[in-house]
Amino acid sequence: MPWIVCLGAAPPGAAPRFILATYNVERYPSEAAADDSRKSEESKARVREMIAACQADVLALQEVCGTNALLELRRDLKAGGCDYPHWELITGHDTNVQVAVLSKFPITARRPQTRASFLLHGRRFQVARGFLEVDIRVNPQYAFTLLVAHLKSRRAAPEADESELREQEAIKLRGRIDAILAADPDANLAVVGDFNDVHSSKAVRTVIGQNKNRLFDTRPAEENGDDFKSKMQRQFHRNVTWTQFYAKEDVYSRIDYIFLSRGMAREFKAEASHVLAMPNWGMASDHRPVVTGFQAQEK
């Protein structure tokens, strides 16, 4: 399949805008990886095609297998016409996979959250992948803070219940969100990533929060031709929004999210947002990218 070149900044005279996306790339390896489970070159190429199709200015990634893997992905994206000059990657307690960000815009501050821990049933646990936190300057008039998370998977853990571990990680993430919003209630904040649970779960409800600091769920859907509009919310929710296929249970679920503070939600553009649906998406990853659009101007 031919490359789809990422779009740059808006043309002169157009309203400033940018695209933020998140994508779990399912253990994207470096060229030096030698284990039997590494991705095929065909799969890696499909990941790059999916990323190019997002046309994202800022891209959050989960399950990148190390700095070399990220730099090689960045190099290959640039060769295909999609240049991300700025990047960040953090390594948490789990050193097998990392969270990362690629950005066309400058990263002006980095605050890696890699040492968070919690007590559960009298035992101390580490937040496995940590939380990536950066400030991004879109233009002289607009900046935002990006928090990227990859919460505990749904795979059983011998040391504790996986859902309890995920909820505790969510509590730590929510604590960081509250700290940011306590310092500036109108802060432009995007909380994104693979939360490994459905919207009604304790973990996701914890991240969203309540009352004045409750986060806005962007909830993008497939651009598949559906155009019905209804005043009945339950009918609106029939739009196709799943982001991951879980083979063990043979289910498709929405577990990848882009949540926004009330400050940043003012600039959100629903019409420029979607879950990317492309043929052979599963060749790249068991997840699909979530894409959101924004006006880069305070409202």
User: Each residue of 52-70: pLDDT tens digit?
Assistant: 999 999 999 999 999 999 9
pLDDT band of residue 282 (cuts 50, 70, 90) is very high
Q: Where are the beta strands (DSSP E) in the chain?
A: 17-28, 58-64, 86-90, 98-103, 107-110, 117-120, 123-126, 131-139, 142-150, 189-194, 216-217, 244-246, 251-253, 256-260, 268-275, 290-295
- Quick check: 7 pLDDT over 50? no
Among 29-38, 100-109, 216-225, the range scoring the smallest mean pLDDT is 29-38
Measured between its terminal Cα atoms, the distance across the chain in Å is 40
- Quick check: 264 pLDDT over 60? yes
241 in a structural domain: yes
10 in a structural domain: no
* Tokens read off for 260: 């926004």
Instruction: Answer for the pair 270, 291: CB distance below 8 angstroms, yes or no.
Output: no
Task: Provide φ and ψ at 28, rounded to 5°.
Answer: -75, 115
9 in a structural domain: no
**Distance of alpha carbon 39 from the chain centroid:** 21
How many domains does the structure of the chain reveal?
1
- Quick check: 3 pLDDT over 60? no
- Quick check: 86 pLDDT over 80? yes
Q: What is the pLDDT of residue 234?
A: 59
If one compares 266 and 1, the residue with the highest pLDDT of the two is: 266
Q: What is the pLDDT of residue 235?
A: 62
Q: Which residue intervals of the chain are DSSP H helices?
A: 41-54, 67-79, 162-183, 202-208, 233-236, 262-265, 281-284
299 in a structural domain: no
Q: What is the pLDDT of residue 191?
A: 99
Q: How far is CA 228 from CA 85, 238, 254, in A?
A: 40, 10, 21
How much is the average pLDDT of 173-178?
Answer: 98
- What CA–CA distance (Å, rounded) separates 258 from 15? 23
- What CA–CA distance (Å, rounded) separates 261 from 183? 13
148 in a structural domain: yes
5 in a structural domain: no
- What CA–CA distance (Å, rounded) separates 108 from 69? 23
Instruction: Answer for the pair 286, 247: CB distance below 8 angstroms, yes or no.
Output: yes
Average pLDDT over the chain, rounded to an integer: 93
Share of the chain above pLDDT 70, in %: 91
Q: Maximum Cα–Cα distance for the chain, whole Å?
A: 59
How much is the average pLDDT of 31-46?
Answer: 85
Among 116-120, 147-151, 238-242, 258-262, the range scoring the smallest mean pLDDT is 238-242
11 in a structural domain: no
Question: What CATH number has the domain bearing residue 260?
Answer: 3.60.10.10
1 in a structural domain: no
pLDDT band of residue 6 (cuts 50, 70, 90) is low
pTM: 0.94
Domain ranges, residue 129: 17-293
- Quick check: 4 pLDDT over 90? no
Q: What is the pLDDT of residue 267?
A: 98
- Quick check: 205 pLDDT over 70? yes
Among 1-10, 203-212, 279-288, the range scoring the smallest mean pLDDT is 1-10
- Quick check: 2 pLDDT over 50? no
